[in-house]
Amino acid sequence: MLLKFTKMHGLGNDFMVIDGVTQNVRLTPEKVQQLGDRHFGVGFDQLLLVEPPDDPDMDFRYRIFNADGSEVEQCGNGARCFAAFVLERKLTGSKRIKVQTKGGPIELRVNRDDEITVDMGLPKLEPWEIPFKADRQSITYKLEVEGRDEEIAVVSMGNPHAVLLVDDCKSTPVERLGSKIQRHNRFPENCNVGFMEVVNPGEVNLRVFERGVGETLACGTGACAAVVAGRLQGLLEPTVKVNLPGGTLTITWKEQDLPVLMTGPTTRVYEGHIRI
């Protein structure tokens, strides 16, 4: 079968985006791994699949697969690329798009400057919702890593995140610590790990070690989780500029009973066909 796809990225977090509305697409974990290989396939951090929704109140179903073939609940940078993709392919004419994901419904809004705002919904903070093994909810938790206690915040933005405050993002051993925290036995479904350096109350630097991928140039849900964690610790303002290795996102979270809003750019790199 000859499959048409689009290669896109959000701040360097790169995606293979496939239209499963007008094409018949059947993917296995093994096939996703083959497509994700940067030497023998297309290469990507995540594969995004656009499908018709199961829910009649939604416009589309949005599925996300990591390069290792695992299907995950949410991807914020991917959601922005998703919105740009369905508009460019004329799968919708609406600038407000309701999308069904494994992590719950989200709403995408295309702004006048062509940046895209994603309503990521309410953050989940109860340990059982994330999931994270703890007796009760807390703003931060102690997690034993390499024989010492690390203080982490734990947030779900449709997918699980651990957030650590660091003095300097650049010198932090992200791969070493991230890989150990990601697979820690207190995270039954593993997690994404964010390392956040607070520049000032309106700006942070962030690096994220993603589950099933490793460190990426940008992580939208990781940026949202970091701002939620910083807000709960009294460190950040309601709107924060989040500097990632691939660029900058703007995250807004005003109050606990309001959704997290993420705004940023998208880029279409090329279109192609591949036989699967």
The reply, when asked if residue 243 is annotated as ligand binding, is no
Sites in the chain below the pLDDT cut of 70: none
Residues with catalytic function? 75, 219
Q: Assign domain 127-258 to its CATH architecture.
A: Roll (3.10)
The reply, when asked if residue 200 is annotated as ligand binding, is no
Between CA 204 and CA 202 the distance in angstroms is 7
**Sequence ranges of the chain with CATH classification 3.10.310.10:** 2-120+265-275, 127-258
The reply, when asked if residue 46 is annotated as ligand binding, is yes
Cα distances (Å, whole numbers) of residue 220 to 119, 161, 235, 249, 266: 12, 11, 20, 8, 12
Per-residue pLDDT reduced to its tens digit, 92-101: 999 999 999 9
What is the pLDDT at residue 23?
A: 95
Provide the Cα torsion 153, 249, 98, 126; round to 10°. Answer: 10
Please name the residue that has the structure tokens 């951090």.
45
Per-residue pLDDT reduced to its tens digit, 212-270: 889 999 999 999 999 999 999 999 999 999 999 999 999 999 999 999 999 999 999 99
CATH 3.10.310.10 fits 2-120+265-275, yes or no: yes
* Nearest by Cα to 108 from 81, 89, 88: 81
Contacts for 90 with CB less than 8 Å, ≥ 6 apart: none
The reply, when asked if residue 74 is annotated as ligand binding, is no
What is the pLDDT at residue 276?
A: 83
Q: Distance between alpha carbon 12 and the CA centroid of its chain, in Å? A: 13
Q: For residue 264, list its beta bridge partners.
A: 116
